[in-house]
Amino acid sequence: MKRLFAVLLALMLALTAVSALAETKVNFFTGKIETIDLLNEIIADFNAQNPGIVVEQEYQNDASNIIKVKFASNEVPDIMTTYEQEFVDQGKYMDISDVNEWWDRLIPSMRDSCTDLKTGKQYRVCTNMTMAGFFYNKEIFEELGLTPAVTWDEFVSNLEVIKEKKPDVVPWFIFGKEAWHLGHLIEFIPHGYLKQSLGALECKTAMLNNESEKLRLGAADGCMAVFAQNMLDLQAKGLINEDVLTATGDNCTEAFVTGKAAMFSNGMWALSGILEANPDMADKIGFAPYPAYMPDSQPVVLCAEDSGYAISATTENVDAAKAFLTFLFSAENQKKYSESLGSPSAFTDVEAAWAPEGFVRDVTAVLNSAVNIGFTNEKPAGFSGDDAGRMVQDLLAGTYDAQGFAEAYEKAWNEGF
C-alpha cells in the first residue's frame, strides 16, 4: 500500500507539473482604475471556463509611462489599454483589422475612431463611447438662477456667484493630486480649441507632423498661455478648491455628492462612483460643455472611443489573448461593463441602462449643441498625458507664469518626439 501510495503521489505531481507547463498566462495591463474590480470578476469567469489559460490583470496608476519601461525592457504585456501613436509607428501593436467578429458588431463611427490615420488599419478596438465635460449640481444652479456657461466670461461669472452666495461650496473642484486628471484638462480645453479651430483631421495631421506654426503651443496669445492664465486667475480668486494639489478623485466625489462642490470636470467613467456614493444624486446631476475661451471659438465636449484594447505585436499568446477579448466583448459582459462604468456601449447588440434618463437627455443636448472632439492620440509618446498633468501641477504650485508654462509645454512637446 505504501508503494502504491508513493506511485500515485508521484503520478499526481507529474500531472501537476505537466499541467503547469501547458498553462498559458496572458498578462493584461491597464491604467483604468474604475474597472479593476469588474474586470477581475470577468477574468475569474474566463479562467474558470478556459482551463489551461490564466489571465492576470496588472494595474498601474502611471500606466502611460510604465508601458514605456515595459517596451524598453522587453517585458511587454499581451493585452494593454495604453495606446500611443508613436508605438503604432514602431510596430508595437498587432494589426487586428481582420478580426471581423469584433468589428461587425461595432458602431461604424467607433471603428473609424480606432483607425490609424497613417495606415488606415486598426491596432486597437474600443468597447464603449465616452463623453467628458462639466458635471454640475442642478439644485445649486436652479437655486441661484444659473445656466451652464457657453463663454469663459459666463463660466467665471457662474463660479463667482456660487462663491458669493454659497461660501461653503467649492465652485469648481479639481482633484489635482492625480496627474491624469490635470492632463485631461489640457486634452479638453486647449487641445479642444485646436481641434475645433483647425478641424479634426488637420489637427491630427499637425500634431503627428509637429507643425509648430499651426499649433502655436508656446505663443503668448496661443491656447496654452491663455489656458494657463485662466487657471491662475481662478486660483487667485478662490474659485477652485484650495487643496487642489492634494485633492484626490475620492475627495471630489465626496464633495460633490454632499453638496460641497458645485462642479467638476470628468468623463462618463465618473458617473458610477457618484451614484454609488449617493444614489439620491440621480436626478441632481447636470452635464455641460467646456466653455469657449479663445477668440471666435465655440464650446466643446469630448465624444470619443473609450476602453480601448490592443494586443502586443510580439506576444506568443495570440489565440489566448483573442479568446479572452472575445469573452470580454460578449453582449452579456458588455452590458455589465457599460452599466458599471456609466458609459454607452460601442456594440450594436448591447442594450444597457448606463445612466439616469434625465442625465442622458442632458448629455444628448450637449452633444448636439457643442463641437464634438476626440482624444489626442497623436501626442508624442515621450510626453504623456500624465506628464502634461504634472506640468499643470507645477503651474498651480507657482512654478510658472502663463507664458513660462506655454513655453515649457512647447519644449516638452517637441522633446517628446
**What is the DSSP code string of 319-385?**
HHHHHHHHHHTSHHHHHHHHHHHT--BSBTT-----S-HHHHHHHHHHHHHSEEE---TTS-TTS-H
46: left (phi over 0), alpha (psi -120 to 50) or beta: alpha
pLDDT, position 73: 94
Amino acid at 73: S
Tell me the C-alpha distance between 198 and 204, whole Å.
9
Q: Is the pLDDT of residue 21 over 60?
A: no
Q: Which of 55-64, 93-102, 158-167 has the lowest mean pLDDT?
A: 55-64
Q: Which of 36-45, 113-122, 344-353, 373-382 has the lowest mean pLDDT?
A: 373-382
120: left (phi over 0), alpha (psi -120 to 50) or beta: left
Helix H or strand E segment including 31: none
Q: Is the pLDDT of residue 248 over 50?
A: yes
376 in Cβ contact with 201 (< 8 Å): no
Higher-confidence position of 335 and 61: 335
Q: Is the pLDDT of residue 101 over 90?
A: yes
Higher-confidence position of 95 and 22: 95
C-alpha cell at 102: 469584433
Higher-confidence position of 166 and 86: 166
Q: Which of 20-24, 67-71, 77-81, 411-415 has the lowest mean pLDDT?
A: 20-24
* Phi, psi values for residue 167, rounded to 5°: -65, -20
Crossing angle (nearest 10°) for helices 402-415 and 385-396 = 160
The answer for residues whose C-beta is within 8 angstroms of residue 134's C-beta and 6 or more apart is 148, 263, 264, 265, 287, 288, 289, 290
* Phi, psi values for residue 211, rounded to 5°: -85, 85
Taken as a whole, the chain contains a residue count of 417
Q: pLDDT band for position 240 (50/70/90)?
A: very high
pLDDT, position 24: 95
**Mean of pLDDT over the chain:** 93
Structural domains in the chain, sorted by start: 25-130+305-356 (3.40.190.10), 131-304+358-415 (3.40.190.10)
Crossing angle (nearest 10°) for helices 223-236 and 190-198 = 140
Distances, alpha carbon 226 to alpha carbons 9, 156, 215, 303, 373, in Å: 73, 14, 14, 24, 20
Q: Per-residue pLDDT averaged across 356-385, rounded?
A: 89
Q: Is the pLDDT of residue 20 over 50?
A: no
Q: Per-residue pLDDT averaged across 214-220, rounded?
A: 98
Tell me the C-alpha distance between 184 and 186, whole Å.
5
pLDDT, position 17: 46
pLDDT above 70 covers a percentage of the chain that reads 95
pLDDT, position 23: 87
